[in-house]
């Protein structure tokens, strides 16, 4: 692969199945403002969460190659579904530093929990992979984990329905049993879910801490770049966004994820 070492001003590549990974981009821009970022959102093939593992691995390899061919110095897999299916394969295939959302988020949840009772919500693919359980149990064997698939959260977010009766009813259906489990943290194991924090909190209450993957993933990225002497030195980095489709309301939804205007968006076919 054409990954060239020691290019600290090369961009960081970030991908997700859709727009959810922009929650991670937003955090990279906040914490590492000097970095250039190239984002790829595979909107033509979203959602990944209901697809087979084989298919998600294939898509993830294509997304990674697309970004690495653009000369990125590091890759952030800002999609829990992709990371749970393909992280070890991507790490074997490519020599660039690859940062995923699962391990940093699991470790953050372990730092925050008092009771050791942890809720995990995600797509069907992420939850059935057991990736969070493995990452948590590797550090704390006696942690008690309660997992729930929340498939309808992704279409709700992609459609911009972040509050209101439908979002509340869906959240209630998925999360009402969590209340009885005495958990004190819930991992938002999908990069779309931070946008639903309000409705999720409305069901689980304010004493349960919601762990969003973006902050811990970006700290991991910063450490990795620092250790390798790859932190950018320019004044202010830019953002280029590539998508495999432009659904009708994607600018509106994307800007909500990103928290700023999406100026440079290009359509590509992988």
The residues that touch ligand DGL, with contacts defined as CB under 6 A, are 16-18, 20, 46-49, 79-81, 123, 126, 154, 190-192
What 8-state DSSP symbol labels residue 42? -
Q: Provide, rounded to whole angstroms, the least separation between the CB of residue 81 and ligand DGL.
A: 4
Spatial separation of the C-alpha atoms in residues 28 and 204, rounded to whole Å: 28
- CA-wise closest residue to 16 among 93, 95, 75: 75
Per the document, the length of the chain is: 270
Q: Which residue sits closest to ligand DGL, CB atoms considered? A: 49
- Using alpha carbons only, what angle is made at residue 107 by residues 102 and 108, rounded to the nearest 5 degrees? 100
Q: Provide, rounded to whole angstroms, the least separation between the CB of residue 217 and ligand DGL.
A: 11
End-to-end CA distance of the chain: 17
76 in Cβ contact with 103 (< 8 Å):
no
Spatial separation of the C-alpha atoms in residues 68 and 77, rounded to whole Å: 12
Spatial separation of the C-alpha atoms in residues 223 and 239, rounded to whole Å: 21
CA distances to 14, 85, 86, 137 from 100, rounded to whole Å, are: 10, 11, 10, 17
Q: Provide, rounded to whole angstroms, the least separation between the CB of residue 253 and ligand DGL.
A: 13
Q: Provide, rounded to whole angstroms, the least separation between the CB of residue 130 and ligand DGL.
A: 14
SS3 145: strand
Residue number, 74 or 79, with CB nearest to ligand DGL: 79
Please say if 150 is a catalytic residue. Answer: no
Residue number, 178 or 257, with CB nearest to ligand DGL: 257
Catalytic site residue from 190, 200, 221, 258: 190
Residue number, 25 or 230, with CB nearest to ligand DGL: 25
Catalytic site residue from 56, 79, 145, 150: 79
Residue number, 26 or 192, with CB nearest to ligand DGL: 192
Residue number, 74 or 127, with CB nearest to ligand DGL: 127
H or E element in which residue 76 lies: strand 74-77
Q: Provide, rounded to whole angstroms, the least separation between the CB of residue 189 and ligand DGL.
A: 7
Catalytic residues: 79, 190
């Amino acid at each position: 692969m054409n990954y060239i070492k020691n290019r600290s001003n090369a961009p960081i590549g970030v991908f997700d199945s859709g727009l959810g990974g922009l929650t991670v981009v937003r955090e990279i821009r906040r914490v590492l403002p000097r970095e250039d970022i190239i984002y790829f959102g595979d909107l033509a093939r979203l959602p990944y969460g209901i697809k087979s593992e084989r298919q998600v691995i294939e898509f993830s390899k294509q997304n990674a190659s697309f970004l690495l061919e653009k000369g990125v110095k590091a890759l952030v897999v800002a999609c829990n579904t992709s990371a749970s299916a393909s992280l070890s394969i991507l790490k074997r295939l490519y020599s660039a530093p690859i940062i995923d959302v699962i391990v940093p988020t699991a470790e953050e949840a372990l730092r925050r929990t008092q009771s050791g009772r942890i809720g995990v919500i995600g797509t069907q693919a992420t939850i059935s992979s057991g990736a969070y359980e493995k990452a948590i149990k590797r550090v704390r064997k006696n942690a008690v984990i309660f997992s729930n698939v929340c498939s309808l959260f992704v279409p709700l977010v992609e459609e911009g329905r972040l509050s209101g009766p439908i979002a509340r009813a869906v959240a209630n259906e998925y999360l009402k049993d969590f209340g009885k489990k005495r958990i004190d943290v819930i991992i938002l194991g999908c990069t779309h879910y931070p946008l639903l924090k309000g409705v999720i909190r409305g069901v689980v209450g304010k004493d349960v801490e919601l762990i969003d993957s973006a902050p811990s993933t970006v700290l991991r990225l910063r450490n990795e770049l620092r250790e390798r002497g790859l932190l950018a030195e320019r004044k202010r980095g830019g953002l280029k966004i590539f998508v495999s489709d432009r659904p009708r309301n994607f600018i509106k939804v994307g800007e909500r994820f990103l928290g700023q205007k999406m100026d440079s968006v290009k359509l590509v076919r992988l």
